Structures are given as structure tokens and as C-alpha cells.
Structure 1
Amino acid sequence: MRRALGGLLLAGVLGGCSVDFQGWAGMKDQPKGLPFRENAFFADGRTMREPPPDTVPRSRRGVSRRFLTGREAPDAGYVEELPLALTRELVEGGQGSYDIYCAACHGVLGDGVSPVARNMGLREPPSLVDLPEYEDGYVYAVISEGYGLMPGYAEKLTPTQRWAVVAYMRALRESQRARLEDVPAEARARLLQEGVP
């Protein structure tokens, strides 16, 4: 029992040391490229490498390029409409993501009115309600890649979440432009009872 305990203790102590075992250096001491460090091996001197063009992560195999980029092809323009089925759940999910990532600058109503927008010195965020009618793929690409002072959100939102934000932005835009005549008759009666002009 003592011998096993002593062996276990010795293994634990030696495991924390940097030991040269049969010519092998410990992993801590081995030569390797560290992120953001120079590397004379590559012509540009960088350790961190760009993936080869058209590389697709394993997690995205089988998913179309137009779904991931919002573009029909590299030089063929943007996707006209959502590549997902437009459902209530999709729009509500888009609202949740919009409220977290977009509303701080673009406003809850998408009108560009928010405390953050009022305090931006260089340029206030635009009203999403007043923007021209862009293709859904273009809006998706802006959410993914950013535009002007706006950062891209591809690292924070999955492709499905970004498309959901596009769907919610369309619904938000329509809701801000809607007239009472556009509402179905049964809902119009309810709105009139509630005093909506």
C-alpha cells in the first residue's frame, strides 16, 4: 500500500516537471509556433496562417455556400430571399438576437434612436426602417461581415441566427410602416377597441 502510494506521489511530482526523457523535450519546452508571434519559416513572417481559399469547416459540410454567405456565388450577387422557411419561431428567435446585439445601436424599433446612437461621435447608426429594399442576402452579409463602424457578428451568431435576424428586421420594418388598413379585419376590430389610431 505504501509502495503504491509512494509511486503515485512520485509520478505526480515528476508529471509536473519538464523532464528530458530519451531525448524528447517536454511539451512546454518544444519548439512551436505561438499565436501572434513572428515565424521566420513563412515569407510573411506570421505564425498564424490563413486557411486556404474555399476551405469549409467540418461542421459546415453539406451546408450550401449561399446559406453561409448570403451570396449566390462569389461574383453573382446576393440571395434574394431567406433560404429558410419563414416561421413564427424563426422571427421570434431573430427578435431575441436583435434585442441583444442590434437594438443597442439601431434602437428597439429599428429607427436608429437609442442612448448609444445619441452618444456616437463619428456617425450615428442608420434607421433600419428607412433603408432601401436590399436583398436578404445583402443584409445577412452586413450582419456577418460588418459595415462601416459596425462590427461583424459571424463569431457571435450562427448562420441560422443571422438569417433569423434578417427575418425579424423584415418584420420590424413592415410593422413600422403598417397602416390600419393593412391589418386583417378581425385584428383591426381588436386594435380599434384598444384605441390604436
Structure 2
Amino acid sequence: MDLRAIEKNYERMSDSKLIEVITTNAQGIQPEVFGIIENEIRKRNLDPNLLNAVISQNEHHSLEDIYRHSELLRDLPCPICDNSRDKLNGTVCYTIKSIIITTFTATKIVIACPDCLDKQNRKAIISCSLLGWWGIPFGILKTPVYIYRNLKAKDENRTSDSNGALLSFTAEHIGQIKAFENNPEKLKNLIRDMKYLGF
């Protein structure tokens, strides 16, 4: 392993790129690289908690740890309606769109208050119902499945504890959550900027 080349690579990154890499893509790094990242954080005068993101991505997390970090997200205001009255939770929205012989599918995790989660699932169901059927054969076969998946996801929107979608999101983003656990605005941005997967 060429540590000097790794160091140069980190030096070339902008602050925002470095933060993105070390909070989302630091799984499996070698112990020698921790020191390089720590020096780069210190040299740029970045938040020292960013190193926690690197460490957390290379640790095994217990279910209790994931639950605890999911509670940090649940206490945020809703990123869609800005409501602070209800605790947040997660849902998965499944969509399908078809054009003759081509069918596109997408999956998106949404973190929001229960009312907004219900609205997101309803929108996905309507979208599937209107746009999913028009592809042969997959649109016809998959559309009922995607509608059913949205209905099942909607059933978990009002659970009193963190549901499966929120726990899955927390486990996947634990590095970012740990790095920004004292910065509610960054956590709110994290859950607001969700992207569709596989579309």
C-alpha cells in the first residue's frame, strides 16, 4: 500500500468531497490510513467528530446502538412539512413506470412524520397505478407487486418505535449520523436529500 499516494489523494480533495468520502465510503480502510485522515481533518481545521464517522464505519454496531442513533433522527422536525409534533419514522416508496417494452422501477427510503410518510406512499401507489401497466410483460406483472409493497410499507408508518425502514437507513448511514450527531441541521439535510435507488 502506497501511503504517500493515499495522502496525496486526500490532499487533492475539496473539503466537501473529503467529508463525503470519510462519512459515506470509509468501510474497510487500513489502520494506517486512519492517521492520514486524522491529519487531513486537523490540517483543514474541520470538525474532529468527522473521525468518528470513519471509525464507526469500521465497527460492528449492535442493534441497541442502531436504535439509539435512530432516535436522533426521530427527534428532528419533519424534512417535508417541518412539523415537530410527531416523531419521525421511515417508509419505503416503490415506483414503476412503463413504456411499451421498457419498464423502470425505483425504490426510495423516506424519513418523515407519519402523515407525510402516508402521503409519499399514496403518491407512489397512484404513480404505479397510472404509469406501471403499460410495459409488456414486466409492467403488467410487476405493477400489482409494487402497489402491494407500498401498502405494506404504509402499515408501518405509525409504529411507536423505529420501524424497519428507519433502522435500515440508520445502519447504512451510521457514519454520517455519528459525525453530525451534535448538528441537527446537518442531520436534517441528510434525511432530506434522499435519492431513489435503482431507477
Greater share of residues in helix:
2
Q: Higher relative contact order at CA 8 Å, sep ≥6: structure 1 or structure 2?
A: 2
TM-score (norm 1): 0.28
TM-score (norm 2): 0.28
Larger-gyration structure (1/2): 1
